[in-house]
Amino acid sequence: MLATGWRLLQRPMFVGCVLQSGAIYATFLVFISLAPYVMVSALGRPPTEYGFYYLLVALGYFFGNWSVSRLQSRHDLHWVVLNGVLLQLAGAIAALGFVALGFRHPLWIFVPVAVLSYGQGLALPNVIATAVSLEPQNAGVGSSTIGFLQMLIGSACVQAMGIFPTDTPFPMLTFAVVVCFLALGLLWVFPRVEAGGRG
């Protein structure tokens, strides 16, 4: 199992999928870890309100997953992942932009983040499916490896973001924008590296 996992990690496309899924998961994990504190200390809202607004994020991801099979009947996997990543980026930029303009109501954060979450629901299942398809005979090892590493990346990002203040939403949302740009760049880089390696 360890040998198979190591072999997969030597494939640029698999590494790209790991980093892509890690970026998606880190964006989600950082938001749900910091948003409750931001709600109280930055937006002056009671803690009980967070659960209400979080429903928007959960529904976004649910409908993203729900849309995958419907979109894949008309578009290829790369199209679905690309548009999922673009929606993530659009949601992150919109949330940061609204905060920068001085909008203080939680909906100005949570509605764009619901769009971001919808994009994650589109992209993440397809990224994992791509990673697993690289060695179908070792699908279990591929799935568990990418699952472990995306959680490791996400938890490391949450730990790193712990040094930033939560009396403002800017660090949390800036992180989301930067990581979403990174996720978009990964879609361009790793397929080309994989193709070059095969050549």
In the chain, where the domains are located: 16-193
- Positive or negative: CA dihedral 68, 74, 78, 82: negative
User: Quick one: pLDDT band at residue 191, thresholds 50, 70, 90?
Assistant: low
Q: Give the tens place of pLDDT for each residue, 121-174.
A: 999 999 998 888 888 888 888 899 999 999 999 999 999 999 999 999 999 999
Q: Please state the pTM of the whole predicted model.
A: 0.89
Q: Is the pLDDT assigned to residue 190 strictly greater than 90?
A: no
Q: Is the pLDDT assigned to residue 2 strictly greater than 50?
A: yes
Residue 154 CA to residue 85 CA, distance in Å, equals: 17
What confidence score (pLDDT) does residue 39 get?
Answer: 92
User: Quick one: pLDDT band at residue 13, thresholds 50, 70, 90?
Assistant: confident
The residue-averaged pLDDT of 72-85 equals 87
Q: Is the pLDDT assigned to residue 62 strictly greater than 70?
A: yes
Q: Is the pLDDT assigned to residue 195 strictly greater than 50?
A: no
- Non-local (6+) Cβ contacts of 32 within 8 A are 54, 57
User: Quick one: pLDDT band at residue 197, thresholds 50, 70, 90?
Assistant: very low
8-state DSSP, 138? G
Percent with pLDDT over 90 in the chain: 64
Q: Is the pLDDT assigned to residue 175 strictly greater than 80?
A: yes
Q: Say how many CA atoms lie within 13 Å of 45 toward its Cβ.
A: 19
What confidence score (pLDDT) does residue 48 get?
Answer: 84
C-alpha distances (whole Å) from 50 to each of 38, 84, 116, 120 are: 10, 25, 17, 20
Residue 120 CA to residue 85 CA, distance in Å, equals: 7
CB 161 within 8 A of CB 30: yes
State which CATH number among 1.20.1200.10, 1.20.1250.20, 1.10.260.40, 3.30.930.10 fits the domain covering 16-193.
Answer: 1.20.1250.20
Q: Is the pLDDT assigned to residue 196 strictly greater than 80?
A: no
Question: 107-133 vs 12-41: helix axis angle to the nearest 10?
Answer: 160
What confidence score (pLDDT) does residue 105 get?
Answer: 93
The total number of residues written for the chain in this structure: 199
Residue 165 CA to residue 175 CA, distance in Å, equals: 13
